[in-house]
Structure 1
Amino acid sequence: MEKYILLLSCMLCGAIFLGLGAYSVKKKTPMNFWSGVEVPSESISDIPAYNRAVGRLWGGYSAVWFISGLAALWRPVEATILMCVLGAVGAVVLVLVYKRIEKKYRVK
C-alpha cells in the first residue's frame, strides 16, 4: 500500500510542476520564478522565449518526480531516497539554471 501512496504523491507533485511549466509557456507576461517577486515586462527582452525557457525548466524538474513515482512501484525505499536526493539537488539546479535564463533574457 505504501508504494501506491508514494506513487500518487510523486505523480501529483510531478503534475503540479508540469502544469507550472505549461502555464508558463502560455502566459503573455513574464513568468515569475520566485514566490512573491514579479518580473516586470520591460526587464525581459524576449518574453515568449523567456517563458518557454522557464517552462522547460519546470518540465524538466517534473521528470524527477515522475521517475521517482514510477520507481516506487518496484523499490519504494530506494524511490524515496531517489526522490529526496534528486528533489534537493534538483531544487539547487533549478535556481542555478533560472539565474542563467534570467541573465540571458534580461534587458541590458
Structure 2
Amino acid sequence: MGTELMTGFIIWLAGGGLLTAVGIGAFFSKKEVGFFCNVKPLPMRDVKAYNRAVGKLFIGYGIVFAVLGLPMLAGQNSGLIVISVLGVVAESIGAMAVYILAIQKKYEKK
C-alpha cells in the first residue's frame, strides 16, 4: 500500500472525525444548533432534546462518512471509489431528510 493511499485515507478519516466532533459539540450545546450552514436554527420547544438529536445525527454521519472511505485503500485505479462518492451523496441526502422530516418536525415551536 502506497503512502499516497494512506495519506488520502487519513485525511478522509480526519473529515469524519471533524463531523463527529461537531456532533459531540452539538450534543452538549445550550443554544439551538443549526444543521444547515448559514441558516439560523428555528426556535425549538425542548432545546436540550433537540440538540441531542442533532448531535446524534452528526455523530452517526461522521462515523458512516469514515467507513465510506475504506474503498480508498483498494488502490489508485480501483473502481471501488464510486462506493465512497455515491455513498456520501446518499448519506447526505438521508441526513437532510432525517433532520427535516423527523428532528425539526418533532421539536419545532408551532
- Compute the TM-score of the two structures, normalised by the length of structure 1: 0.86
Q: Secondary structure at the match of 2:69?
A: helix
Separation in structure 2 between the aligned mates of residue 79 and residue 3 of structure 1, nearest angstrom: 13
Q: Which has the higher helix share?
A: 1
Between the aligned residues of both structures, percent identity stands at 27
Residue ranges of structure 1 left out of the alignment (5+ in a row): none
Residue ranges of structure 2 left out of the alignment (5+ in a row): none
Show the counterpart of 1:85. 86
Q: What is the CA distance between 1:78 and its match in structure 2?
A: 5.3
Show the counterpart of 1:18. 20
CA RMSD of aligned residues (A): 1.7
Aligned residue pair count: 105
- Compute the TM-score of the two structures, normalised by the length of structure 2: 0.84
Contact 2:22 2:58 in 1 (8 A): yes
Query: Partner letter of residue 61 of structure 2?
Result: Y
> In the superposition, relative to structure 1, how do residues 13 and 71 fare at CA in structure 2: closer, same or farther (>3 Å)?
same
Select 1:28's aligned residue among 11, 27, 30. 30
Q: What is the CA distance between 1:37 and its match in structure 2?
A: 1.4
Contact 1:11 1:66 in 2 (8 A): yes
Show the counterpart of 2:58. 58
Select 1:101's aligned residue among 100, 103, 108. 103
Q: What is the CA distance between 1:36 and its match in structure 2?
A: 1.2
Which 4+ stretches in 1 moved above 4 angstroms? Answer: none
